[in-house]
Chain A
Amino acid sequence: MAIEATGLVKHFDETTALAGLDLHVPTGTVLGMLGPNGAGKTTAVRILATLLRPDAGSARVAGIDVLDEPARVRSRIGLTGQFAAVDEHLTGHENVVMIGRLAGLDKSSARERAADLLARFELADAADRPARNYSGGMRRRLDLAASLTTSPEVVFLDEPTTGLDPASRLGLWDVIREVVAHGTTVLLTTQYLEEADVLADEILVIDHGREIARGTANQLKADVGGETVTVEIVDDARMDDAHAALATVTRDEVFVDRARSRLSFPAHGDSSRLAATVRALDDADIAVADLAMRRPSLDDVFLSLTGRTASDAADGSDDPPGGDARNDPNGATDTESIDA
């Protein structure tokens, strides 16, 4: 186990940030810790990264007790915080060299390593510009490069893509995948269901400082239920007609989402319902924008576990997601689309 924590508890004044959290991350795997703002994700990361002492519980990172020997833990971890912790008046190269030096490298190895990392994260051209001139995505990549200077055994990525535009998020995902491919153990926290789905081997859903679900993305989705047939129509004035048409195809209740002109019902593993749905809508002369067999998204998982969607729970977050998982047709939700 690269990360092992039991019964972590942390209170801040009146609020309980962690209420007895357990964590087990096998070496070389990625744990996605998923939850809305205030769920306790950052508190957990700060405890494991030796920045904060828990009120109760114990934790080992890379086999070393974080409470007994924090200094030894620090030589084996990398931390990328929620807000890119780079010095904006230093150049990208100077930032990475400084971190390398502080982690124990001599001057020439630190420089060599910085050049390597900056090239790997596509920052070579910007290496000699002050970080304040970097875009948000570049800063996060620089932040990540800095935390990888010493090839740490365990890397904490605390909401690495919060506030980034969709293109930068995809770019950062590629970088994270590469880090993982080299055998580094990663604890990733995120508010984006899609992100955990794409990057993590196992997902831990937390809310109010405690675990509410754990498993692979597929297991979590299976817990919620099977596939649905989902239809999005062009003219939302015809939602009621569409509802009536679909009622001829299924005996289950049809779920109507007027905000997104979307209707859905359980497929029960029967893909012939797709064809039946096409015929029913065609007969009723309703134009279809999208029609798909859809596996439940992690947002559905969160909804069924907490009664709220993750985005509702995270309301008040100052950085709304650049591409909301539910609205992103190219997102991670597994779909078998047919052209409508």
Chain B
Amino acid sequence: MSATSTTTGSATANVARHHQGTLLRDTPIIAHRNLLRVVRQPQIAIFVVIQPIMFVLLFRYVFGNAIPIPGFDYVQYLMPGIIVQTLVFGSAVTAIGITEDLKAGIIDRFRALPMASGAVMSGRVIADMAINTVSLVVMVAVGYAVGFRVTTSVWEAALAVALLAGLAMAFSWISAVIGLAVKEPEAAQSAGFIWLFPLTFVSSVFVPTAGMPAPLRYFAEHVNPVTHVANAARALTVDGYLCGTQVCTNPWPEVWWSLVWIVGITAVFLPLSIRMWRNLT
């Protein structure tokens, strides 16, 4: 070791002796690391870009003609819904990423560092939100190519995007808890399907809820946060959504329900995931 690196060594030692990480400082470091990982793995790009394009085209041209939506052109009805569906499914990557880290042993390294204990989770969720944002941009672009048009103001459309991002984040925190609970990437993958499929299909995402059997319809219309966000997004981008068999145009009830769910889910699952992280062995 040269004289210069010895100096650097003792200097770094002095910094490190007194360091305690903060969430604000460590979260971007972890998010940056996670995004570097994504950029280096082309198969993830397929998941982020190709899959949304495929879904839009399939639903637009295969199902679109078979599913009549009263009062709507199907592409206008479909696009906000399919964006919600893609973002919700995208939250599964949080669980998979966490389990991969657990398996690779790098989690031990993080836990033995003087970093903020929530940063590995928050950095992961923020990186996943960035990835989801890319999916969102791709879908809006493809949507425009197949006839989708935003008919409201910029501000309403921006609020729709904020709600979508909020839902993606809230579901990422659920996914983080699942990842920490199951610990294996394969298990995280199948666990994701168990809750994500019912939530997205028993909702207003693809079809009107009016045709569903009563219990499912009740769940889809009044409980499921995916419906609330999809309806809010529709009201805020295409100026209306289906309430029962009617077309409703007032976005605010669905916006408020969406916010309640986003805040509620985050308030439960964010602290829970950080607690589970601290109790890892």
Binding site for B on A (CB under 8 A): 46, 49-52, 71-72, 74-77, 79, 81-90, 94, 98-105, 109, 112-113, 116-117, 119-120, 130, 146-147, 149-153, 178, 182
Binding site for A on B (CB under 8 A): 1-2, 4-6, 8-13, 15-21, 26, 29-30, 33, 36-37, 40-41, 104-106, 108-115, 280-281
Judge whether A113 and B12 touch: CB under 8 Å.
yes
State A112–B9 Cα separation when bound (angstroms): 10
Judge whether A151 and B9 touch: CB under 8 Å.
yes
Which B residue's beta carbon lies closest to that of A178?
B1
Given contacts A83-B105, A178-B1, contact A109 B26 (CB under 8 A): no
Judge whether B12 and A102 touch: CB under 8 Å.
no
State A72–B113 Cα separation when bound (angstroms): 10
State A178–B6 Cα separation when bound (angstroms): 12
State A8–B21 Cα separation when bound (angstroms): 29
State A99–B113 Cα separation when bound (angstroms): 8
State A86–B105 Cα separation when bound (angstroms): 8
* CB neighbours of A84 from chain B (8 A): 105
Judge whether B36 and A152 touch: CB under 8 Å.
no
Q: Tell me which of A75, A86, A117, A150 contacts B106 (CB under 8 A).
A: A86
Given contacts A51-B281, A85-B106, A88-B104, contact A100 B17 (CB under 8 A): no
* CB neighbours of B33 from chain A (8 A): 87, 90, 94, 98
Given contacts A85-B104, A90-B33, A104-B21, contact A151 B109 (CB under 8 A): no
* CB neighbours of B11 from chain A (8 A): 109
* CB neighbours of A103 from chain B (8 A): 12, 15-16, 19, 113-115
Q: How far is the CB of A159 from chain B (nearest CB, A)?
A: 12
Judge whether B105 and A85 touch: CB under 8 Å.
yes
Q: How far is the CB of A54 from chain B (nearest CB, A)?
A: 11
**List of 10 A-B pairs having minimum Cβ-Cβ separation, nearest first:** A104-B19, A150-B16, A151-B13, A116-B5, A75-B114, A85-B109, A85-B105, A74-B114, A151-B9, A79-B112
Judge whether B114 and A104 touch: CB under 8 Å.
yes
State A88–B2 Cα separation when bound (angstroms): 28
- Interface residues of B: mostly helix, strand, loop or mixed? helix
State A103–B36 Cα separation when bound (angstroms): 20
Q: Tell me which of A85, A90, A150 contacts B12 (CB under 8 A).
A: A150
Judge whether B29 and A51 touch: CB under 8 Å.
no
Judge whether B105 and A109 touch: CB under 8 Å.
no
State A120–B33 Cα separation when bound (angstroms): 24
Q: How far is the CB of B11 from chain A (nearest CB, A)?
A: 7
Q: How far is the CB of B153 from chain A (nearest CB, A)?
A: 41
Judge whether B29 and A71 touch: CB under 8 Å.
no
Judge whether B29 and A120 touch: CB under 8 Å.
no
State A239–B41 Cα separation when bound (angstroms): 60
Judge whether B21 and A116 touch: CB under 8 Å.
no
Which A residue's beta carbon lies closest to that of B10?
A151
Judge whether B10 and A102 touch: CB under 8 Å.
no
Q: How far is the CB of B83 from chain A (nearest CB, A)?
A: 28
Judge whether B108 and A79 touch: CB under 8 Å.
yes
Given contacts A85-B106, A89-B37, A101-B29, contact A75 B17 (CB under 8 A): yes
State A103–B19 Cα separation when bound (angstroms): 7
* CB neighbours of A146 from chain B (8 A): 109
Q: Tell me which of A85, A98, A151 contacts B29 (CB under 8 A).
A: A98
* CB neighbours of A76 from chain B (8 A): 16-17
* CB neighbours of B4 from chain A (8 A): 116
* CB neighbours of B15 from chain A (8 A): 103-105, 109, 150
* CB neighbours of B21 from chain A (8 A): 102, 104
State A322–B9 Cα separation when bound (angstroms): 33
Judge whether A87 and B37 touch: CB under 8 Å.
yes
* CB neighbours of A105 from chain B (8 A): 12, 15-16
* CB neighbours of A152 from chain B (8 A): 13, 16
Identify 24 residue pairs between A and B in the complex whose beta-carbon atoms are under 8 Å apart, listed by A's number.
A49-B112, A50-B112, A51-B112, A51-B280, A71-B20, A75-B17, A75-B20, A76-B16, A76-B17, A79-B109, A81-B105, A85-B104, A85-B106, A86-B106, A89-B41, A94-B36, A103-B115, A104-B16, A105-B15, A109-B15, A117-B5, A120-B1, A151-B12, A182-B1
State A191–B280 Cα separation when bound (angstroms): 26
State A71–B111 Cα separation when bound (angstroms): 10
State A219–B4 Cα separation when bound (angstroms): 40
Judge whether B13 and A77 touch: CB under 8 Å.
no
* CB neighbours of B1 from chain A (8 A): 120, 178, 182
State A303–B52 Cα separation when bound (angstroms): 63
* CB neighbours of B105 from chain A (8 A): 81-85
Which A residue's beta carbon lies closest to that of B20?
A71
* CB neighbours of B8 from chain A (8 A): 109, 112-113, 116
* CB neighbours of A74 from chain B (8 A): 112-114
Which B residue's beta carbon lies closest to that of A130?
B40
* CB neighbours of B104 from chain A (8 A): 83, 85, 87-88
State A109–B8 Cα separation when bound (angstroms): 8
State A182–B41 Cα separation when bound (angstroms): 39
Q: Tell me which of B10, B36, B281 contacts A90 (CB under 8 A).
A: B36
* CB neighbours of A182 from chain B (8 A): 1, 6, 9
State A112–B10 Cα separation when bound (angstroms): 13
State A132–B110 Cα separation when bound (angstroms): 19
Judge whether B18 and A51 touch: CB under 8 Å.
no
* CB neighbours of B114 from chain A (8 A): 71-72, 74-75, 102-104
State A89–B224 Cα separation when bound (angstroms): 37
